[in-house]
């Protein structure tokens, strides 16, 4: 069983997430860059996601809304670097606290046809990172990674890898 590791070392402005998937990097990458697929896995269970914008290319942006019993939560960011099947660098901003923007670097590593995803989120300060961790971020990350693993489960056809974006 693959599990999600979330590390927030005390005194640092980083959160690191590592997860392995039983799918090749091109499918895991595609699930991060195709708006229809992103809407199927990103965010906590029990919330609906509306993708308002998702232009996964250098200089492109994204906006999405999660809706559930707890209310409505809006997020946005800008893609800075997109290297197919290998790397995404983007900003991440919760619109409820627009002065706090993090930088996320997500790497997709091929391990014999499987993928190790590593993501480092860098916050403006240790205090901003600690506030994000205290907000319940861990539950949303774990739910998202589980939902992504379900979407990528062997035997499920989520995308036609012979038909690139």
Residue 7 has pLDDT above 80, yes or no: yes
Residue 67: its pLDDT value, please?
A: 95
Residue 98: its pLDDT value, please?
A: 80
Residue 158: its pLDDT value, please?
A: 65
CA atoms within 13 A on the CB side of 42: 22
Residue 163 has pLDDT above 70, yes or no: no
- pTM metric for this prediction: 0.91
pLDDT digits (tens, 9 = 90+) for 24-53: 999 999 999 999 999 999 999 999 999 999
Distance of alpha carbon 11 from alpha carbon 20, whole angstroms: 27
Q: Enter the tokens of residue 116.
A: 């190790």
Question: 42-104, what's its fold?
Answer: Alpha-D-Glucose-1,6-Bisphosphate; Chain A, domain 4 (3.30.530)
pLDDT digits (tens, 9 = 90+) for 49-88: 999 999 999 999 999 999 999 899 999 999 999 999 999 9
Give the three-class secondary structure for 87. Answer: strand
Give me the sign of the Cα torsion angle 9, 126, 83, 22: positive
Residue 111 has pLDDT above 80, yes or no: yes
């Amino acid at each position: 069983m693959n599990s999600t590791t979330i590390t927030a070392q005390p005194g640092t402005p980083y959160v690191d997430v590592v997860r392995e998937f039983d799918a090749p990097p091109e499918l895991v990458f595609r699930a991060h860059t195709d708006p229809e697929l992103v809407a199927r896995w990103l965010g906590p269970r029990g919330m609906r996601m509306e993708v308002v914008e998702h232009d996964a290319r250098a200089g492109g942006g994204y906006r999405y809304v999660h809706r559930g019993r707890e209310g409505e939560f809006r997020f946005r960011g800008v893609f800075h670097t997109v290297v197919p099947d290998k790397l995404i660098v983007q900003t991440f901003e919760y619109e409820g606290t627009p002065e706090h923007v993090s930088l996320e670097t997500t790497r997709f590593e091929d391990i014999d046809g499987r993928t190790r995803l590593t993501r480092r989120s860098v916050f403006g300060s240790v205090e901003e990172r600690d506030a994000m961790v205290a907000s319940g971020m861990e539950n949303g990350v774990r739910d998202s990674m589980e939902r992504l693993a379900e979407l990528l489960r062997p035997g499920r056809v989520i995308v036609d890898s012979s038909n690139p974006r």
